[in-house]
Structure 1
């Protein structure tokens, strides 16, 4: 099957159904990803089915469990090649999206994709912990999302500072067994509260996935996020 056919099959039972325009946009995104991946390391997953299921469908699972408000301000922290943030924007062009990453070359790629797809997003070149101390970004988003490869206690320190009171941070994880228990202290210190945990299997044997929803119930103390060295040396 083509990437498009695989994506249609993988998302046939999803809450949000993609239009022809959105499918075409994802096809073009896939083509640009393959083209740019030859010049820089954007993804280790390169086959059509892997892109369709493990990147695109995986990103879209958010809409199976959560209602994202119209015109919500969303930040994807450590966005990499744009997952999940850019896929969410394609599916819901009303959201006001910010893509944050520490590598400028990734943002250059994402800017090219946005222009090609006629979409807009704010691109921010910053380390996550530095952006979290930026008063223009701190506690100003309805939703923070991340598929970054970090333990949940570390990921929470990177992401929760961006979230406004009563907003959410949703972590996209593989198997998160054990991580949640280890992260509860960090989540509490940072002003969060675990609201829901969704465990599911991606279609087409795409693997086990977990979405962890953390609500922002108190402001994050000013000292967080700490410098990256301290976060890694002494996780909360």
Structure 2
């Protein structure tokens, strides 16, 4: 995806980038590639692919969810900052909190945030299971996002405890969303969530399938969730 296509496609969705925002995306790309030589942040380093599969793909969440307001966002397992940092560039008023279990990624994100001069961004080196049990984070976020981190039954246990009541959990997935939803339904209900909608679409140019599963938090998550680190993955709620 060329930069001209990137801006054009976003503009069609009502997201008009300023020259400052475009410069931030360029800086993001350069920093990502530079750091990727020292640590494994992404397998995708070709510029047009990064713009399509990382930047544009991350921003698709804003086609279906409202980011034009001051909201607290928590991004679980964001890796190199996807989807929350591209969303933060487009919508500077949101507060971004990223939790990741690898400290080197957190080091990269802190450096990136300084480079891009992002305000109101916070990075935590922690396991999602222990992070969600801390009172200052539990049920404190308007929106929790996760992009291709784990299957739905596992993701729900890691993310829904962080969502405040009436808040939203958005899982960004490639294919097989309906199959995942069938398996993950019980977990979502157990954790206080309710399926609101599933948005299916294709990425432009390469036309690969994408799904955004939107879950609303309708009641508090029982205190015993999430379970100890590693347990949700080994013994999913199914």
Partner of 1:212: 213
Map of 1:121-132 to 2, 5 A cutoff?
Answer: 121-132=121-132
Structure 1 segments, 4+ long, off by >4 Å, are: none
Match of 1:165 in 2: 165
CA contact (8 A) 2:33 2:45 kept: yes
- Classify the secondary structure of the residue corresponding to 2:89: helix
Aligned-residue CA RMSD (Å): 1.3
Counterpart in 2 of 1:203?
204
Q: Aligned pairs, how many? A: 235
The gaps in structure 2 that reach 5 residues or longer are: none
Contact preservation (8 Å) 2:77, 2:149? no
2:230 partner SS: helix
Which residue is equivalent to 1:191?
Answer: 192
Deviations 1:33-60 (A, max 9, x none): 0000000000011111110011000111
**What is the CA–CA distance in structure 1 between the aligned matches of 2:112 and 2:233, rounded to whole Å?**
33
Counterpart-to-counterpart distance in 1, 2:47 and 2:3: 9
Alpha-carbon distance in structure 2 between the residues aligned to 1:110 and 1:229:
24
**Unaligned stretches of 5+ in structure 1?**
none
- Mapped partners of 1:79, 1:163: distance in 2: 16
CA distance, structure 2, for counterparts of residue 16 and residue 172 of structure 1: 19
- Identify if the C-alpha distance between structure 1 residues 39 and 6 changes in structure 2 by more than 3 Å, giving closer, same or farther: farther
TM-score (norm 1): 0.96
